[in-house]
Amino acid sequence: MLIPFLIILATSSVASAGLLPFSSKHVVITNKLITKDTIVLHCTNKGEDKGVVSLEPGASFDFRFRVNLRKTTTYTCTFTWAGKTSTFDIFRADRDDNSKSKVGVCSECIWLIFETGPCRDRRDGGQPYCFAWDS
């Protein structure tokens, strides 16, 4: 009885709003480097490797997944351009699937990559949330 209930919750709008585990996520990463350099990116989590991708200026890469039951899902990406390498947790459940975080829940997490760091776009048209590189 529990499994059918969890399947229904996983496909509901409540789950995609970040209120329950298994919420569906769509991450989009766009190269917005002012220098117009190509970015080589590599995104992974504990159990999945999204591969190495080359992004020309203005190009995007996207992937989809569901947040795990414990809501600890994290995807870390390494970004390399013009001899510089930086990393950032492009998705962290505690930040991106938490209605109490300063940036709120995203079901479609759109990231713009600048030299100074990644910025998560806001669907309401407000200023993006910009972050410093993790390293």
Predicted confidence pLDDT, tens digits, the chain (135 residues): 555 544 454 444 444 455 566 899 999 999 999 999 999 999 999 989 999 999 999 999 999 999 999 999 999 999 999 999 999 999 999 999 999 999 999 999 999 999 999 999 998 889 999 999 999
Question: Domain 28-130 - what CATH class?
Answer: mainly beta
Q: How far is CA 53 from the centre of its chain?
A: 15
Cβ-based neighbours of 43, under 8 Å, separated by 6 or more: 29, 49, 50, 63, 75, 76, 77, 78, 90
pLDDT value for 53: 98
Sign of the alpha-carbon torsion through 107, 66, 72, 44: negative
Q: What is the pTM of this model?
A: 0.85
